[in-house]
């Protein structure tokens, strides 16, 4: 098996699975990629930090903490430093949050099923029935003549002042 071609594909597939929230699959893919290279290399340390993060996503804090402790002795300084930072977070005490800080999400399972108002491909709009509209006022109130006269007076005043 060619490790140069197998490693990147397993690693990228693991990252893609991690980003989709498929943590169990990502751990499997990362472990396959780790078998192809040395765990003490920079890439091996990167993969193992990804595995720690995936363990956190799976709520396997003990496994994540154990692997993170192993990474604090990694030969690469950056990996050791990152492992110490992650271990600090993993071992931090859990704080109790007051209930007023939390948003309650209603349980939608208890709601009764309802009929959809709109369905694709169907026009369910029903125009209102012809209702009797009251009488329309057709009497001329000479508004247009008053407005036109006012505009002419204003224009005449402007011409006279200039």
In a domain, 34, yes or no: yes
In a domain, 157, yes or no: no
In a domain, 68, yes or no: yes
In a domain, 15, yes or no: yes
What average pLDDT values come out for the chain (162 residues) when binned by 10 residues?
61 91 92 90 92 91 91 91 91 83 78 66 66 72 86 93 84
The count of structural domains within the chain is 1
In a domain, 97, yes or no: no
**pLDDT at residue 2, as a whole number:** 42
**CATH of residue 27:** 1.25.40.10
Residues 6 or more apart in contact with residue 78 via CB below 8 angstroms: 42, 45
In a domain, 106, yes or no: no
**pLDDT at residue 138, as a whole number:** 73
In a domain, 72, yes or no: yes
In a domain, 103, yes or no: no
Task: State which residues form the domain around 13.
Answer: 3-90
Q: ∠ at Cα 82 (91, 18), nearest 5°?
A: 85
């Amino acid at each position: 098996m060619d490790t140069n071609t197998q490693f990147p594909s397993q690693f990228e597939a693991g990252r893609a699975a991690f980003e989709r929230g498929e943590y169990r699959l990502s751990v499997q893919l990362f472990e396959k990629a780790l078998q192809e290279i040395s765990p003490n290399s920079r890439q091996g340390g990167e993969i193992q930090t990804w595995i720690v993060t995936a363990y956190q996503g799976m709520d396997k804090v003990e496994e994540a903490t154990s692997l993170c402790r192993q990474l604090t002795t990694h030969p690469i300084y950056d990996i050791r430093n990152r492992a110490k930072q992650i271990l600090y977070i993993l071992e931090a005490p859990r704080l109790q949050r007051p209930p007023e800080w939390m948003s309650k999400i209603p349980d939608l399972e208890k709601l009764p099923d309802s009929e959809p108002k709109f369905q694709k491909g169907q026009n369910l709009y029903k125009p209102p029935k012809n209702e009797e509209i009251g009488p329309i006022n057709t009497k001329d109130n000479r508004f247009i003549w008053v407005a036109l006269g006012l505009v002419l007076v204003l224009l005449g005043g402007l011409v006279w002042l200039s």
